Amino acid sequence: MAFLRHRFSVLLLVLVGVLFLAGCKNKNVQRYETTLSVWGVFDNETDYSDINRMYSEAHEPVSRVQYRKFTVDTYKEDLIDALASGNNPDIFMIHSTWLPDFVDKISPAPQQILDANTVVPLVADVVATDTIVDGVVYGAAPSLDSLSLYYNKDIFNSAGITAPPATWSAFDDVVKALTRIDANGQITQAGATFGTANNVNRPMDLLSVLMMQGGAEMSDGASITFDETVRAGSETLSPGKDALLYYSSFARGGSRVYTWNQRQDYSIDAFTQGRAAMTISYSYHYNTIRAKNEQLNFAVAPLPQIDNETLGQQVNYPSYWMFVVAKNHSLPAAKEGRQVVTNELQSWESWQYIKAITYGGKNVAYADPFTGVEKVVALPQDLNALYLEKTGKPPARKDLIASLRDDPLFGPFVRGNLIARSWQRRNSDAIDQVLADMITAVNAGSAVDRALQEGSSKAQQIHTR
Protein backbone atom coordinates (compact mmCIF):
# COMPACT_ATOMS: atom_id res chain seq x y z
CA MET A 1 0.00 0.00 0.00
CA ALA A 2 2.84 2.33 -0.89
CA PHE A 3 0.53 4.86 -2.50
CA LEU A 4 -1.13 5.51 0.89
CA ARG A 5 2.10 6.27 2.74
CA HIS A 6 1.96 9.91 3.74
CA ARG A 7 4.22 9.80 6.75
CA PHE A 8 5.07 13.49 6.58
CA SER A 9 1.38 14.46 6.52
CA VAL A 10 0.63 12.21 9.47
CA LEU A 11 3.55 13.55 11.49
CA LEU A 12 2.48 17.09 10.70
CA LEU A 13 -1.07 16.32 11.83
CA VAL A 14 0.22 14.86 15.10
CA LEU A 15 2.40 17.93 15.66
CA VAL A 16 -0.51 20.28 15.00
CA GLY A 17 -2.66 18.25 17.39
CA VAL A 18 -0.03 18.41 20.14
CA LEU A 19 0.35 22.16 19.73
CA PHE A 20 -3.42 22.55 19.65
CA LEU A 21 -3.89 20.65 22.89
CA ALA A 22 -0.96 22.31 24.59
CA GLY A 23 -2.09 25.77 23.60
CA CYS A 24 -5.62 25.16 24.79
CA LYS A 25 -4.76 23.69 28.20
CA ASN A 26 -6.32 26.61 29.96
CA LYS A 27 -8.86 26.23 32.73
CA ASN A 28 -10.41 29.54 31.71
CA VAL A 29 -11.26 28.43 28.15
CA GLN A 30 -15.01 28.68 27.57
CA ARG A 31 -16.99 25.74 26.30
CA TYR A 32 -17.68 25.63 22.58
CA GLU A 33 -20.64 24.68 20.44
CA THR A 34 -20.63 23.37 16.90
CA THR A 35 -22.65 21.46 14.32
CA LEU A 36 -21.61 18.60 12.04
CA SER A 37 -22.60 17.84 8.45
CA VAL A 38 -22.54 14.31 7.01
CA TRP A 39 -22.91 13.21 3.38
CA GLY A 40 -23.68 9.72 2.14
CA VAL A 41 -25.61 7.53 -0.28
CA PHE A 42 -28.28 4.81 0.10
CA ASP A 43 -28.99 5.67 3.76
CA ASN A 44 -32.02 7.90 4.28
CA GLU A 45 -32.20 10.96 6.51
CA THR A 46 -34.72 9.15 8.70
CA ASP A 47 -32.13 6.44 9.38
CA TYR A 48 -30.06 9.05 11.21
CA SER A 49 -32.74 11.05 13.00
CA ASP A 50 -32.74 9.08 16.28
CA ILE A 51 -29.00 8.48 16.13
CA ASN A 52 -28.16 12.14 15.71
CA ARG A 53 -30.64 13.23 18.36
CA MET A 54 -29.22 10.78 20.91
CA TYR A 55 -25.69 11.86 20.07
CA SER A 56 -26.36 15.57 20.47
CA GLU A 57 -28.22 15.02 23.74
CA ALA A 58 -25.33 12.98 25.12
CA HIS A 59 -22.52 15.22 23.85
CA GLU A 60 -23.20 18.87 24.61
CA PRO A 61 -20.55 20.50 22.34
CA VAL A 62 -22.33 19.19 19.22
CA SER A 63 -25.73 20.85 19.05
CA ARG A 64 -26.80 19.27 15.76
CA VAL A 65 -25.71 16.65 13.22
CA GLN A 66 -27.25 16.94 9.77
CA TYR A 67 -27.15 14.07 7.24
CA ARG A 68 -27.67 14.60 3.51
CA LYS A 69 -28.34 11.81 1.01
CA PHE A 70 -26.89 11.89 -2.52
CA THR A 71 -27.48 9.90 -5.69
CA VAL A 72 -24.79 7.26 -6.07
CA ASP A 73 -24.34 7.82 -9.82
CA THR A 74 -22.94 11.34 -9.35
CA TYR A 75 -21.80 11.17 -5.73
CA LYS A 76 -18.07 10.78 -6.30
CA GLU A 77 -17.97 13.73 -8.67
CA ASP A 78 -20.13 15.78 -6.27
CA LEU A 79 -17.64 15.07 -3.49
CA ILE A 80 -14.60 16.00 -5.56
CA ASP A 81 -16.24 19.24 -6.70
CA ALA A 82 -17.28 20.13 -3.14
CA LEU A 83 -13.83 19.47 -1.75
CA ALA A 84 -12.24 21.57 -4.50
CA SER A 85 -14.59 24.50 -3.89
CA GLY A 86 -14.52 24.36 -0.09
CA ASN A 87 -18.22 23.55 0.15
CA ASN A 88 -17.60 20.07 1.52
CA PRO A 89 -19.20 18.47 4.58
CA ASP A 90 -17.30 17.69 7.77
CA ILE A 91 -17.86 13.95 7.37
CA PHE A 92 -18.58 11.96 4.24
CA MET A 93 -18.92 8.34 3.24
CA ILE A 94 -16.71 6.78 0.58
CA HIS A 95 -16.68 3.28 -0.81
CA SER A 96 -13.81 1.28 0.65
CA THR A 97 -12.11 1.07 -2.76
CA TRP A 98 -12.04 4.87 -3.06
CA LEU A 99 -9.71 5.49 -0.14
CA PRO A 100 -6.55 5.75 -2.31
CA ASP A 101 -8.30 8.43 -4.39
CA PHE A 102 -9.28 10.52 -1.34
CA VAL A 103 -6.40 9.98 1.08
CA ASP A 104 -4.87 13.39 0.39
CA LYS A 105 -8.22 15.09 1.03
CA ILE A 106 -9.02 13.63 4.45
CA SER A 107 -7.77 13.85 8.03
CA PRO A 108 -6.92 10.63 9.89
CA ALA A 109 -8.27 10.05 13.36
CA PRO A 110 -6.43 11.51 16.33
CA GLN A 111 -4.99 8.57 18.22
CA GLN A 112 -6.64 9.81 21.42
CA ILE A 113 -10.00 9.06 19.77
CA LEU A 114 -9.35 6.02 17.54
CA ASP A 115 -6.06 4.17 17.39
CA ALA A 116 -5.10 1.04 15.49
CA ASN A 117 -4.60 -1.08 18.61
CA THR A 118 -8.20 -0.41 19.61
CA VAL A 119 -9.73 -0.88 16.17
CA VAL A 120 -8.02 -4.12 15.06
CA PRO A 121 -9.69 -6.44 17.60
CA LEU A 122 -13.07 -4.73 17.17
CA VAL A 123 -13.71 -5.21 13.45
CA ALA A 124 -13.51 -7.80 10.68
CA ASP A 125 -9.97 -8.10 9.37
CA VAL A 126 -10.72 -6.59 5.96
CA VAL A 127 -11.97 -3.36 7.55
CA ALA A 128 -8.85 -3.04 9.69
CA THR A 129 -6.62 -3.71 6.68
CA ASP A 130 -8.45 -1.19 4.48
CA THR A 131 -8.84 1.65 6.98
CA ILE A 132 -5.55 1.57 8.92
CA VAL A 133 -2.43 2.81 7.15
CA ASP A 134 0.96 2.90 8.87
CA GLY A 135 -0.76 2.53 12.23
CA VAL A 136 -3.14 5.45 11.66
CA VAL A 137 -6.93 5.16 11.24
CA TYR A 138 -8.18 6.90 8.07
CA GLY A 139 -11.77 5.68 8.04
CA ALA A 140 -14.35 3.74 10.04
CA ALA A 141 -17.00 1.38 8.69
CA PRO A 142 -20.52 1.32 10.18
CA SER A 143 -21.34 -1.88 8.25
CA LEU A 144 -19.80 -4.55 6.03
CA ASP A 145 -21.26 -6.70 3.27
CA SER A 146 -19.89 -9.71 1.41
CA LEU A 147 -21.01 -12.08 -1.33
CA SER A 148 -23.41 -14.97 -0.77
CA LEU A 149 -25.24 -17.51 -2.91
CA TYR A 150 -28.96 -16.95 -3.49
CA TYR A 151 -30.80 -20.10 -4.57
CA ASN A 152 -34.35 -20.96 -5.62
CA LYS A 153 -35.64 -23.60 -3.20
CA ASP A 154 -38.48 -24.73 -5.47
CA ILE A 155 -36.11 -25.44 -8.37
CA PHE A 156 -33.72 -27.25 -6.02
CA ASN A 157 -36.54 -29.33 -4.51
CA SER A 158 -37.94 -30.29 -7.92
CA ALA A 159 -34.52 -31.61 -8.94
CA GLY A 160 -34.02 -33.47 -5.66
CA ILE A 161 -31.09 -31.26 -4.62
CA THR A 162 -31.19 -31.04 -0.85
CA ALA A 163 -28.49 -28.46 -0.12
CA PRO A 164 -26.81 -25.52 -1.84
CA PRO A 165 -23.27 -26.12 -3.15
CA ALA A 166 -20.46 -25.31 -0.73
CA THR A 167 -17.61 -25.74 -3.26
CA TRP A 168 -17.15 -24.72 -6.87
CA SER A 169 -17.07 -28.34 -8.06
CA ALA A 170 -20.42 -28.88 -6.38
CA PHE A 171 -21.59 -25.61 -7.94
CA ASP A 172 -20.64 -26.99 -11.36
CA ASP A 173 -22.68 -30.15 -10.73
CA VAL A 174 -25.74 -28.19 -9.61
CA VAL A 175 -25.50 -25.85 -12.60
CA LYS A 176 -25.34 -28.82 -14.98
CA ALA A 177 -28.30 -30.50 -13.28
CA LEU A 178 -30.51 -27.40 -13.29
CA THR A 179 -29.79 -25.84 -16.70
CA ARG A 180 -32.53 -26.27 -19.29
CA ILE A 181 -31.84 -25.68 -23.00
CA ASP A 182 -34.59 -26.17 -25.60
CA ALA A 183 -34.39 -27.75 -29.05
CA ASN A 184 -33.49 -24.38 -30.58
CA GLY A 185 -30.52 -23.96 -28.26
CA GLN A 186 -32.24 -21.32 -26.12
CA ILE A 187 -31.60 -21.29 -22.38
CA THR A 188 -35.01 -21.61 -20.74
CA GLN A 189 -33.71 -22.11 -17.21
CA ALA A 190 -30.25 -21.04 -16.11
CA GLY A 191 -28.46 -23.01 -13.46
CA ALA A 192 -26.75 -19.78 -12.39
CA THR A 193 -26.36 -16.19 -13.54
CA PHE A 194 -22.64 -16.59 -14.12
CA GLY A 195 -20.13 -16.13 -16.91
CA THR A 196 -20.67 -12.72 -18.53
CA ALA A 197 -20.14 -9.07 -17.63
CA ASN A 198 -22.88 -6.99 -19.24
CA ASN A 199 -25.88 -8.69 -17.59
CA VAL A 200 -24.47 -9.94 -14.29
CA ASN A 201 -24.42 -7.96 -11.07
CA ARG A 202 -20.85 -7.04 -10.01
CA PRO A 203 -18.99 -9.44 -12.35
CA MET A 204 -15.68 -7.78 -11.46
CA ASP A 205 -16.21 -8.75 -7.81
CA LEU A 206 -16.97 -12.35 -8.81
CA LEU A 207 -13.83 -12.52 -10.93
CA SER A 208 -11.75 -10.92 -8.16
CA VAL A 209 -12.89 -13.39 -5.52
CA LEU A 210 -12.23 -16.35 -7.83
CA MET A 211 -8.72 -15.05 -8.45
CA MET A 212 -8.03 -14.55 -4.74
CA GLN A 213 -9.47 -17.93 -3.76
CA GLY A 214 -7.01 -19.44 -6.22
CA GLY A 215 -4.14 -17.63 -4.52
CA ALA A 216 -3.71 -14.52 -6.68
CA GLU A 217 -2.14 -11.43 -5.19
CA MET A 218 -4.16 -8.76 -6.96
CA SER A 219 -1.76 -5.90 -6.30
CA ASP A 220 1.25 -5.05 -4.17
CA GLY A 221 0.31 -1.40 -3.75
CA ALA A 222 2.63 -0.11 -6.44
CA SER A 223 1.70 -2.59 -9.17
CA ILE A 224 -1.26 -4.63 -10.43
CA THR A 225 -0.23 -8.29 -10.18
CA PHE A 226 -3.31 -10.44 -10.79
CA ASP A 227 -1.77 -11.86 -13.97
CA GLU A 228 1.31 -13.25 -12.23
CA THR A 229 1.97 -16.90 -11.40
CA VAL A 230 2.26 -18.12 -7.82
CA ARG A 231 3.93 -21.08 -6.17
CA ALA A 232 1.85 -23.60 -4.19
CA GLY A 233 4.15 -26.31 -2.89
CA SER A 234 5.79 -27.87 -5.91
CA GLU A 235 3.23 -26.42 -8.33
CA THR A 236 3.28 -23.19 -10.33
CA LEU A 237 -0.23 -21.77 -10.67
CA SER A 238 -1.78 -18.99 -12.70
CA PRO A 239 -4.82 -18.15 -10.54
CA GLY A 240 -5.74 -15.08 -12.59
CA LYS A 241 -5.85 -17.06 -15.81
CA ASP A 242 -7.63 -20.00 -14.17
CA ALA A 243 -10.29 -17.74 -12.67
CA LEU A 244 -10.99 -15.93 -15.94
CA LEU A 245 -11.19 -19.22 -17.82
CA TYR A 246 -13.45 -20.77 -15.20
CA TYR A 247 -15.84 -17.84 -14.93
CA SER A 248 -16.23 -17.39 -18.68
CA SER A 249 -16.81 -21.14 -19.23
CA PHE A 250 -20.37 -20.77 -17.94
CA ALA A 251 -21.12 -18.63 -21.00
CA ARG A 252 -19.22 -20.75 -23.52
CA GLY A 253 -21.46 -22.85 -25.71
CA GLY A 254 -20.53 -26.53 -25.58
CA SER A 255 -18.83 -26.38 -22.19
CA ARG A 256 -19.99 -28.76 -19.48
CA VAL A 257 -21.36 -25.86 -17.42
CA TYR A 258 -22.84 -23.73 -20.22
CA THR A 259 -25.80 -22.01 -18.58
CA TRP A 260 -25.75 -18.30 -19.40
CA ASN A 261 -25.04 -15.88 -22.23
CA GLN A 262 -25.23 -12.21 -23.08
CA ARG A 263 -28.79 -12.51 -24.38
CA GLN A 264 -30.17 -13.31 -20.93
CA ASP A 265 -31.90 -10.70 -18.79
CA TYR A 266 -30.08 -8.94 -15.97
CA SER A 267 -29.04 -11.50 -13.36
CA ILE A 268 -31.14 -10.18 -10.46
CA ASP A 269 -34.23 -10.00 -12.68
CA ALA A 270 -33.70 -13.51 -14.06
CA PHE A 271 -33.42 -14.91 -10.54
CA THR A 272 -36.37 -12.90 -9.26
CA GLN A 273 -38.56 -14.15 -12.11
CA GLY A 274 -37.66 -17.78 -11.41
CA ARG A 275 -35.68 -18.28 -14.62
CA ALA A 276 -32.35 -18.83 -12.85
CA ALA A 277 -31.73 -21.29 -10.04
CA MET A 278 -28.81 -19.41 -8.45
CA THR A 279 -27.27 -15.96 -8.37
CA ILE A 280 -24.44 -14.48 -6.31
CA SER A 281 -24.71 -11.04 -4.78
CA TYR A 282 -24.65 -8.94 -1.62
CA SER A 283 -27.22 -8.66 1.15
CA TYR A 284 -28.62 -5.38 -0.19
CA HIS A 285 -30.31 -7.32 -2.99
CA TYR A 286 -32.31 -9.49 -0.60
CA ASN A 287 -35.05 -6.90 -0.11
CA THR A 288 -34.96 -6.02 -3.81
CA ILE A 289 -35.66 -9.63 -4.75
CA ARG A 290 -38.32 -10.02 -2.10
CA ALA A 291 -40.07 -6.79 -3.14
CA LYS A 292 -40.11 -7.77 -6.82
CA ASN A 293 -41.52 -11.25 -6.17
CA GLU A 294 -43.07 -11.89 -2.77
CA GLN A 295 -43.93 -15.46 -3.78
CA LEU A 296 -40.39 -16.47 -4.70
CA ASN A 297 -39.24 -19.33 -2.46
CA PHE A 298 -35.53 -18.63 -2.04
CA ALA A 299 -32.79 -18.75 0.55
CA VAL A 300 -29.21 -17.61 0.99
CA ALA A 301 -26.08 -19.72 1.56
CA PRO A 302 -22.36 -18.97 1.95
CA LEU A 303 -20.32 -18.22 -1.16
CA PRO A 304 -18.82 -21.44 -2.59
CA GLN A 305 -15.12 -21.91 -1.92
CA ILE A 306 -12.29 -23.56 -3.83
CA ASP A 307 -12.19 -27.32 -3.34
CA ASN A 308 -8.49 -27.97 -2.77
CA GLU A 309 -7.50 -25.89 0.24
CA THR A 310 -3.80 -26.68 -0.30
CA LEU A 311 -3.95 -24.84 -3.62
CA GLY A 312 -6.29 -22.04 -2.60
CA GLN A 313 -7.72 -19.95 0.19
CA GLN A 314 -11.03 -19.43 1.94
CA VAL A 315 -11.88 -15.95 0.68
CA ASN A 316 -14.95 -13.78 0.27
CA TYR A 317 -15.19 -10.35 -1.32
CA PRO A 318 -16.50 -7.25 0.50
CA SER A 319 -18.49 -4.20 -0.45
CA TYR A 320 -18.90 -1.44 2.10
CA TRP A 321 -18.73 2.27 2.79
CA MET A 322 -16.67 4.06 5.41
CA PHE A 323 -16.88 7.41 7.16
CA VAL A 324 -13.96 9.78 6.64
CA VAL A 325 -13.28 13.36 7.76
CA ALA A 326 -12.51 16.24 5.40
CA LYS A 327 -9.22 18.08 5.91
CA ASN A 328 -10.93 21.46 5.75
CA HIS A 329 -14.25 22.50 7.29
CA SER A 330 -16.78 25.30 7.00
CA LEU A 331 -16.61 26.57 10.56
CA PRO A 332 -19.53 27.97 12.56
CA ALA A 333 -19.38 31.53 13.80
CA ALA A 334 -18.20 31.84 17.38
CA LYS A 335 -20.91 32.60 19.93
CA GLU A 336 -20.36 35.20 22.60
CA GLY A 337 -18.50 33.77 25.57
CA ARG A 338 -17.70 30.53 23.72
CA GLN A 339 -14.44 29.08 22.45
CA VAL A 340 -13.77 29.72 18.74
CA VAL A 341 -14.14 26.47 16.77
CA THR A 342 -10.97 25.85 14.76
CA ASN A 343 -10.43 23.45 11.90
CA GLU A 344 -8.60 21.08 14.26
CA LEU A 345 -11.44 21.20 16.77
CA GLN A 346 -14.03 20.49 14.06
CA SER A 347 -12.01 17.48 12.91
CA TRP A 348 -11.78 16.32 16.51
CA GLU A 349 -15.56 16.46 16.94
CA SER A 350 -16.12 14.81 13.57
CA TRP A 351 -14.03 11.83 14.63
CA GLN A 352 -15.78 11.63 18.00
CA TYR A 353 -19.09 11.31 16.15
CA ILE A 354 -17.70 8.67 13.79
CA LYS A 355 -16.37 6.65 16.71
CA ALA A 356 -19.78 6.71 18.41
CA ILE A 357 -21.71 5.58 15.31
CA THR A 358 -19.24 2.83 14.38
CA TYR A 359 -17.08 1.40 17.16
CA GLY A 360 -18.25 3.12 20.33
CA GLY A 361 -20.84 0.72 21.69
CA LYS A 362 -23.46 1.79 24.21
CA ASN A 363 -20.91 3.38 26.54
CA VAL A 364 -18.99 5.97 24.55
CA ALA A 365 -15.76 7.55 25.78
CA TYR A 366 -15.56 11.21 24.77
CA ALA A 367 -12.05 12.67 24.80
CA ASP A 368 -11.75 16.29 25.89
CA PRO A 369 -9.91 18.17 23.10
CA PHE A 370 -8.16 20.51 25.55
CA THR A 371 -6.98 18.04 28.17
CA GLY A 372 -7.25 14.65 26.48
CA VAL A 373 -9.20 13.35 29.49
CA GLU A 374 -11.91 10.84 28.57
CA LYS A 375 -15.43 10.89 29.94
CA VAL A 376 -17.61 7.79 29.51
CA VAL A 377 -21.24 8.51 28.67
CA ALA A 378 -23.95 5.85 28.62
CA LEU A 379 -26.15 6.23 25.53
CA PRO A 380 -29.76 5.01 25.41
CA GLN A 381 -28.71 2.56 22.66
CA ASP A 382 -25.64 1.29 20.89
CA LEU A 383 -25.64 3.76 17.98
CA ASN A 384 -24.01 1.33 15.56
CA ALA A 385 -26.54 -1.38 16.37
CA LEU A 386 -29.30 1.19 15.85
CA TYR A 387 -27.77 2.21 12.51
CA LEU A 388 -27.73 -1.43 11.36
CA GLU A 389 -31.32 -1.90 12.49
CA LYS A 390 -32.47 1.20 10.61
CA THR A 391 -30.57 0.44 7.40
CA GLY A 392 -30.87 -3.36 7.41
CA LYS A 393 -27.15 -3.88 6.83
CA PRO A 394 -24.74 -6.56 8.14
CA PRO A 395 -22.22 -5.47 10.80
CA ALA A 396 -18.50 -4.80 10.59
CA ARG A 397 -17.93 -5.16 14.33
CA LYS A 398 -16.95 -8.65 15.47
CA ASP A 399 -19.24 -8.67 18.52
CA LEU A 400 -22.27 -7.96 16.33
CA ILE A 401 -21.09 -10.44 13.69
CA ALA A 402 -20.93 -13.15 16.38
CA SER A 403 -24.52 -12.44 17.40
CA LEU A 404 -25.75 -13.00 13.81
CA ARG A 405 -23.70 -16.01 12.71
CA ASP A 406 -26.73 -18.32 12.81
CA ASP A 407 -29.29 -15.77 11.60
CA PRO A 408 -31.24 -17.22 8.63
CA LEU A 409 -30.82 -14.03 6.61
CA PHE A 410 -27.60 -12.40 7.78
CA GLY A 411 -25.72 -15.57 8.78
CA PRO A 412 -24.12 -16.32 5.38
CA PHE A 413 -23.16 -12.68 4.87
CA VAL A 414 -21.61 -12.12 8.30
CA ARG A 415 -19.69 -15.40 8.12
CA GLY A 416 -18.42 -14.20 4.76
CA ASN A 417 -17.39 -10.92 6.38
CA LEU A 418 -14.88 -12.79 8.54
CA ILE A 419 -12.99 -14.16 5.52
CA ALA A 420 -13.47 -11.16 3.23
CA ARG A 421 -10.45 -9.66 1.49
CA SER A 422 -10.20 -6.64 -0.76
CA TRP A 423 -7.42 -5.32 -2.96
CA GLN A 424 -6.14 -1.81 -3.18
CA ARG A 425 -5.94 0.16 -6.41
CA ARG A 426 -6.29 3.74 -7.55
CA ASN A 427 -9.20 4.70 -9.80
CA SER A 428 -11.05 1.55 -8.79
CA ASP A 429 -14.10 2.25 -10.96
CA ALA A 430 -11.97 2.35 -14.10
CA ILE A 431 -10.06 -0.78 -13.13
CA ASP A 432 -13.34 -2.57 -12.40
CA GLN A 433 -14.36 -1.79 -15.97
CA VAL A 434 -11.09 -3.35 -17.17
CA LEU A 435 -11.98 -6.59 -15.37
CA ALA A 436 -15.44 -6.55 -16.96
CA ASP A 437 -13.88 -5.91 -20.37
CA MET A 438 -11.60 -8.93 -19.88
CA ILE A 439 -14.65 -11.14 -19.37
CA THR A 440 -16.40 -9.67 -22.41
CA ALA A 441 -13.30 -10.20 -24.56
CA VAL A 442 -13.13 -13.89 -23.64
CA ASN A 443 -16.88 -14.24 -24.23
CA ALA A 444 -16.28 -12.84 -27.72
CA GLY A 445 -13.57 -15.39 -28.49
CA SER A 446 -10.35 -13.74 -27.35
CA ALA A 447 -7.72 -16.07 -25.89
CA VAL A 448 -7.69 -16.03 -22.09
CA ASP A 449 -3.94 -15.37 -21.95
CA ARG A 450 -4.25 -12.34 -24.22
CA ALA A 451 -7.28 -10.92 -22.40
CA LEU A 452 -5.52 -11.31 -19.06
CA GLN A 453 -2.26 -9.70 -20.19
CA GLU A 454 -3.97 -6.80 -21.94
CA GLY A 455 -6.26 -6.26 -18.96
CA SER A 456 -3.40 -6.29 -16.50
CA SER A 457 -1.46 -3.78 -18.60
CA LYS A 458 -4.44 -1.42 -18.85
CA ALA A 459 -5.15 -1.73 -15.14
CA GLN A 460 -1.52 -0.86 -14.35
CA GLN A 461 -1.68 2.25 -16.52
CA ILE A 462 -4.87 3.38 -14.76
CA HIS A 463 -3.46 2.57 -11.33
CA THR A 464 -0.33 4.69 -11.82
CA ARG A 465 -1.69 7.69 -13.69
- How large a percentage of the chain has pLDDT more than 90? 84
Q: Is the pLDDT of residue 23 over 50?
A: no
Q: What integer is the mean pLDDT of 399-412?
A: 95
Question: What distance, in Å, lies between the first and last C-alpha atoms of the chain?
Answer: 16
Right CATH number for 2-145+319-402 from 3.40.50.300, 3.30.450.20, 3.90.1520.10, 3.40.190.10?
A: 3.40.190.10
pLDDT above 60 for 206: yes
Q: What is the pLDDT averaged over residues 431-442?
A: 98
pLDDT tens-digit readout, 97-148: 999 999 999 999 999 999 999 999 999 999 999 999 999 999 999 999 999 9
CA distance 308 to 239: 13
The CATH class of 148-315+425-464 is alpha beta
pTM of the model: 0.91
Q: Is it the case that residue 34 has pLDDT exceeding 50?
A: yes
For residue 360, pLDDT beyond 70 = yes
- pLDDT for res 310: 56
Q: Within the chain, which residue ranges are assigned CATH 3.40.190.10?
A: 2-145+319-402, 148-315+425-464
pLDDT at 25: 43
Average pLDDT over residues 346-370: 94
User: Which tens digit of pLDDT belongs to each residue from 78-91?
Assistant: 999 999 999 999 99
Check pLDDT > 70 for residue 19: no
What pLDDT score does 313 carry? Answer: 83
pLDDT digits (tens, 9 = 90+) for 277-313: 999 999 999 999 999 999 999 999 999 999 876 566 8
Average pLDDT, the chain: 92
The answer to whether residues 247 and 210 touch, using CB atoms and an 8 Å cutoff, is yes
Query: What's the pLDDT score for residue 309?
Result: 60
| Residue pLDDT, tens place only, 312-340 | 689 999 999 999 999 999 888 877 777 88
> Residue 334 has what pLDDT?
75
Cα–Cα distance, 289 to 274 (Å, whole number): 11
Average pLDDT over residues 383-403: 97
Confidence of residue 5 (pLDDT cuts 50, 70, 90): very low
Give the pLDDT of residue 30: 52
Predicted local confidence at residue 311, as pLDDT:
60
